[in-house]
Every structure is written in structure tokens, then in C-alpha cells.
């Protein structure tokens, strides 16, 4: 146990591949934050669930030809890793919706296959992303390498926490450390996560798609 109050960590239910009925079930258990990875799939569910008071988080890779939809159909984007994408989200977000909450995704294990920026790029990207009027820079997100030992995930989370504290010490008003999934949420929370993104532990195994 981390000894932290339960309400200090936001739970985002990552519902990719799950049918709307599964989201409704979680909603009836008071779940309000849902995360999706694929734009078209998310749009379908958002149509079905239009009357539910859901906060939608986009957690998948952001393609530049999808930024307009993402900018206006979601409240949060966790996976920004280029200023070009940030700039498009900013330009395309309708101002009357209020600022879009964004996190910068860090490739914390320097995996060639993963999206996200290197920690060395963070100072520049953080400065850049803070200049957009329709975006609100909220914090950092990471997905540590899968299949590594729990201790290596913990080390990755600790590096994230240090980078986060360093930005705060430099005057950034960020409050979100988006880390922890079904397999590693305990160490993520112990290392200071403020938001966990949980799929299989809520919904069971992902359904086959396509
Ligand atoms: C699928 C996904 C999750 C949830 O993963 P689980 O291991 O099922 O909890 C969290 N974050 C991102 C970015 C994902 O793509």
C-alpha cells in the first residue's frame, strides 16, 4: 500500500475494443473517465453514449490527419509528442469548448518502437506546448516497456516523477503524472502517479477487432 488517499489518483478506464454496453456497466459503478486509442472506434461509442456525462481521454498515437476530431471530441490528450501535433490541436480546438488538456508522452525506456519524446527533449517541448491558447499543459505520460521486471518499471516511474518535479520547480503549473496500467499500477502509484489508465483489470481481456 502506498498510504496515499484514494481520491488522489484519477482512474481512467481504457475501453478500446470494448462495446458501449461495457462502458455503461462501468458508468453505473460511478466510472466517469474513459480512455480510447482509436478515433473511429471512439466516435462510434461517443454517439451511443452522448447522453452520459463522460470525460473522454485520448490515449493512442495521434495522427496529424485526425487532430481536428481529437481536438474537439475529447477533453484530454495524453499522447502528444510533437509540436506540430500540438499546434494543430490548438488551431483546431473550438475555443468555446475551453482549453484541451494535454500531456506530453515520454519514451521513458528509449524503445525504438514506442511513441514519445526523449527526456532530453522535454524542456523544449514543455516550453513550446505552454504557448498555445487552446491547450492546457497538464503533465507527463509514459508507458514503460512491457515484459520487463517490476523493478525496471518502477525505475522508469521514478524517472518520470523526477522529470515532473523538475518542471514544477521551473514554474510549470502541471498536476498530472499519467502512468500505471493493469500490470503495474501499484508501483506507479507508489512512485507518484496521479492518473492511472486501466483496461483489462476493469473490462477483462480486450475483444478481437477487425
Ligand atoms: C490499452 C492501454 C492502456 C490499458 O492497458 P491495460 O494493460 O489493459 O490496463 C493504458 N494506456 C494506454 C496508452 C493503452 O493503450
Q: Whose CA is nearest to atom 14 of ligand 1?
A: 59
Q: Which atom of ligand 1 is nearest to the CA of 185?
A: 9
| Ligand 1 binding pocket, CB closer than 6 Å | 14, 16, 37, 59, 143, 181-183, 197-201
- Give residue 1's pLDDT: 55
In the reported structure, the alpha carbon of residue 170 is separated from the centroid of ligand 1 by a whole-number distance in angstroms of 30
Q: Can you tell me the distance from the alpha carbon of 121 to that of 84, in angstroms, rounded to the nearest whole number?
A: 14
- Give residue 209's pLDDT: 60
**Three-state DSSP class for 179?**
coil
Helices 122-129 and 150-169: angle between axes, nearest 10 degrees: 50
CATH code for the structural domain at 6-198: 3.20.20.10
**Three-state DSSP class for 24?**
helix
Q: How many CB atoms lie within 10 A of CB 134?
A: 16
Nearest Cα to Cα of residue 95 among 126, 72, 66: 72
Q: pTM to 2 decimals?
A: 0.95
Cell numbers placing 210 = 477487425
Q: Whose CA is nearest to atom 12 of ligand 1?
A: 59
160 CB-near residues (< 8 Å, 6+ apart)? 106, 108, 140, 142, 177, 179, 191
Question: Would you write out the chain's pLDDT as a tens digit for each of its 210 residues?
Answer: 567 776 789 999 999 999 999 999 999 999 999 999 999 999 999 999 999 999 999 999 999 999 999 999 999 999 999 999 999 999 999 999 999 999 999 999 877 667 899 999 999 999 999 999 999 999 999 998 877 787 889 999 999 999 999 999 999 999 999 999 999 999 999 999 999 999 999 999 988 764
- Give residue 89's pLDDT: 98
Q: Whose CA is nearest to atom 4 of ligand 1?
A: 199
Nearest Cα to Cα of residue 190 among 176, 180, 199, 175: 180
- Give residue 147's pLDDT: 73
Amino acid at each position: 500500500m502506498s498510504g496515499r488517499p484514494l481520491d488522489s489518483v484519477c482512474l481512467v478506464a481504457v475501453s478500446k475494443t470494448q462495446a458501449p454496453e461495457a462502458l455503461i456497466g462501468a458508468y453505473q459503478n460511478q466510472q466517469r473517465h474513459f480512455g480510447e486509442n482509436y478515433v473511429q472506434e471512439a466516435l462510434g461509442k461517443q454517439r451511443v453514449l452522448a447522453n452520459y456525462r463522460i470525460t473522454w481521454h485520448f490515449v493512442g498515437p495521434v495522427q496529424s490527419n485526425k487532430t481536428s476530431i481529437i481536438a474537439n471530441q475529447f477533453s484530454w490528450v495524453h499522447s502528444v509528442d510533437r509540436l506540430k501535433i500540438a499546434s494543430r490541436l490548438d488551431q483546431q480546438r473550438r475555443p468555446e469548448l475551453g482549453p484541451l488538456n494535454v500531456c506530453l508522452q515520454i519514451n521513458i525506456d528509449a524503445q525504438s518502437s514506442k511513441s514519445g519524446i526523449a527526456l532530453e527533449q522535454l524542456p523544449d517541448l514543455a516550453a513550446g506546448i505552454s504557448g498555445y491558447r487552446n491547450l492546457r499543459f497538464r503533465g507527463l505520460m509514459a508507458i514503460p516497456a512491457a515484459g520487463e521486471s517490476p523493478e525496471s518499471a518502477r525505475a522508469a516511474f521514478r524517472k518520470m516523477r523526477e522529470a515532473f518535479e523538475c518542471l514544477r520547480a521551473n514554474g510549470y503549473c502541471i498536476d498530472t503524472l499519467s502512468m500505471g496500467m493493469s500490470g503495474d499500477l501499484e508501483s506507479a502509484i507508489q512512485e507518484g502517479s496521479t492518473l492511472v489508465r486501466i483496461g483489462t483489470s476493469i473490462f477483462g481481456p480486450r475483444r478481437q477487432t477487425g
